[in-house]
Amino acid sequence: MPETQRRKLLAGLDDRLIWRLLRENMRAQVRNYGIAIAAMVVIAVSTAATAWIMRDVIDSMVESGNRSKVFAVALTVLVIFCLRGAANYVQAVFLSRAGNSVVAAQQRRVYDRILLHGVAFFKDLSSSDLLMRVTFSAQAARRVIDIIVTSFVRDLLTLLGLIVVMIYQQPTLSLFSLLVGPLALYGVRRILKRVRGIMEQEIASLTEIIKVVQETSVGIHVIKAFELEGRMRARMAAAVAQVEKRANGIARLEAATSPLMETLSGFAIAGVVALSAVNLFGDTATTPGQLMSFVTALLMAYEPAKRLARMRVSIEAGMTAVRPMFDILDTPLVLIEAADAAPLPAGPGEVRFRDVSFDYGNGRPVLRGLDINFPAGRTTALVGPSGGGKSTIMGLVMRLHDPSQGAVEVDGQDLRATTFASLRQKISFVGQDTFLFSGTVAHNIALGLPEASEAEVIAAAKAANAHEFIEAMPQGYDTEIGENGGTLSGGQRQRLAIARAILRNSAILLLDEATSALDSQSEALVQDALAHLTEGRTTIVIAHRLSTVVNADKIVVIRDGEAIEQGPPGELLARPGAFRDLYDAQFGHAVRAEG
């Protein structure tokens, strides 16, 4: 697409987004914006009145013998300036209140929308990009609204009021001074063309800065181990330099309106003064006050005119940051709860896959025609090579994705016809990538059941073989564990995640390599705890170490997205097949478990 056509298209999109931004936010903040706008009207009127009263100020000073008129004019000036000061205060307070509410509302809206998206959405957007859209974009939305409100109400009304004063006092000189307007608009239009491109590049650089900081925080061990400090420092320096360069570019473009307006205003004022002296047009000022009132209005009109000239440049810069926020709000939800969704019925938790196929939207199937029954109250182990689709199966059970074909059922009900809340309440999950939240040990365990008592939290920790190391920590269960449990070892983090799942006490338990980070001693203890936990519970286990799953009730071998073999482990080991090959590859021809 040619650059000119692209700019026109984006300009049209921005205009629609501006109206949408105003419509969605000003309606919610009608009281705060209404009071701020009323104050702006007072400011505009008092500013015009300031220029108007200059006529009486000068005339009263010339007619110094009329004391009553002098005192009346002095009192009027005092009232005008007091009103203007009070109105400025009211405008600042209520405009800030409205703006802060806009930022908060936009951040809540964007974050709520993010939570509604499925897991696939997060594969396309980095965390640094999402962070920019939740923070920077929301602040930019506030700035755009503030610019529009103040420019179209305070500055525009002030300018119009001053122009009225000018025309009333000196019509001919006003006509000459207003000739600078078209020239100013032409100059601003040329400046505007460069703003969008620079702002898009600046946002990309800001995102890179956040990304570098996040990767440094999460991957500091790798950075230290491989001596990557120099490379990370260079990445950060390059991103910071780009932000600095583009910020300077935007500052130059915004500042360019000042010399433009200064020069044009200088010509206008100088011309007016010269013309008033030579009386070229034959106008006669009836009093010195009239000419002073006109000149005062002309000088005071400079600032609002300059802000109006800069307005479009500032809006353009702000909308470049606002647009990504609306991209998130407008991205269609892939996983939605059906309008007639029903809670899962009370049942034992049987899970069934009926002819399930799945792909991630790229046309390459991850699962193909799966027909698997996960019996209620029994343990089913998924085994097979990495990348075969085992974790995807668990994602479908939790309805993190929907199948491309077929159906996933719990107790005979299709998950697509099930409420999210009832499904998630029926499932506990422990993944191989353990995630913990910032907070205390007790807080992280209690997330499995927020209403749990302290005794129940401790009991869950004991069952997960975590109580002993928790008690040894400085504040025990009240110890802060840092971001993602940064103060804990991998095995400790995993045992807290298991305790969280134990506390939830759901009918269906999903274990994706849940003991992968444990040493042999801890693994034996946790396996013993899991044996009691899984009793009478529908459990789906993924494990690459077959020693952890030979006691399962059922084995399903997944390879290339297909269930190539399934049955009790004893039966599968007793005959040649995929599971026996996997077992022999790990243990040789050792004595096999009894069926």
pLDDT-based confidence at 156, cuts 50/70/90? Answer: confident
Place of tokens 């100059």: 187
| Tens of pLDDT, residues 3-42 | 444 444 444 456 788 888 888 888 888 899 999 999 999 9
Q: How far is CA 49 from the centre of its chain?
A: 45
Answer for the pair 220, 341: CB distance below 8 angstroms, yes or no: no
Cα–Cα distances in angstroms (integers) from residue 68 to residues 63, 65, 72, 74, 508, in the given order: 11, 9, 6, 10, 91
How far is it, in rounded angstroms, from Cα 379 to Cα 366?
Answer: 24
- Segments of 333-404 assigned E as strands: 351-359, 365-374, 379-383
- Give the list of residues 6+ apart from residue 308 with CB closer than 8 angstroms, or none: 151, 155, 156, 159
The 8-class DSSP code of residue 480 comes to B
191 in Cβ contact with 313 (< 8 Å): yes
Indicate the angle between helix axes 288-300 and 156-169, nearest 10 degrees: 160
- Neighbour order of strands in the sheet with 562-567: 427-430, 508-512, 538-542, 379-383, 554-559, 562-567
Q: Which domains does the chain have, with CATH numbers?
A: 3-330 (1.20.1560.10), 377-388+427-587 (3.40.50.300)
Integer CA distances (angstroms), 395 to 358, 389, 402, 565, in order: 11, 10, 9, 21
The percentage of the chain sitting over the pLDDT mark of 70, rounded to a whole number, equals 80
Lookup result for tokens 């190539």:
564
Cβ–Cβ < 8 Å for 121, 78: no
Q: Who's near 384: CB < 8 A, 6+ residues apart? A: 390, 557, 558, 559, 578, 582
Q: Distance between terminal CA atoms of the chain?
A: 66
Helix (H) or strand (E) holding 44: helix 30-62
Q: Would you tell me how many other CB atoms lie within 10 Å of the CB of residue 178?
A: 15
Percent of the chain scoring above 90 in pLDDT? 18
pLDDT band with cut points at 50, 70 and 90 for residue 186? low
- In the chain, how long is the greatest CA-to-CA distance? 123
Taking only the tens place, the pLDDT of each residue in 12-23 is 456 788 888 888
pLDDT at site 568: 92
Q: What is the pLDDT of residue 396?
A: 93
For residue 495 the two structure tokens come to: 């045992």
**Cβ atoms of residues 541 and 382 within 8 Å:** yes
- Give the closest residue to 376 by CA, choosing from 537, 223, 158: 537
Mind giving me the DSSP string for 204-235?
HHHHHHHHHHHHHHHSHHHHHHTT-HHHHHHH
Amino acid found at 190? R
374 falls in which pLDDT band (50, 70, 90)? very high
Q: With 50 as the cut, is the pLDDT of residue 372 above it?
A: yes
Q: What pLDDT, in 10s, does the model give residues 433-455?
A: 778 888 889 998 998 888 889 99
- In contact, 560 and 388? CB cutoff 8 Å: yes
The predicted model gives 551-560 an average pLDDT of 90
Torsion sign across C-alpha atoms 330, 334, 340, 346: negative
Q: Are 538 and 350 in contact (CB under 8 A)?
A: yes
The mean pLDDT of the chain is 80
Overall pTM > 0.85: no
Tens digits of per-residue pLDDT, 216-252?
Answer: 777 776 777 667 788 888 888 888 888 777 777 766 6
Angle at the Cα of 297 from the Cα atoms of 294 and 303, rounded to 5 degrees = 150
Across the range 270-274, mean pLDDT stands at: 59
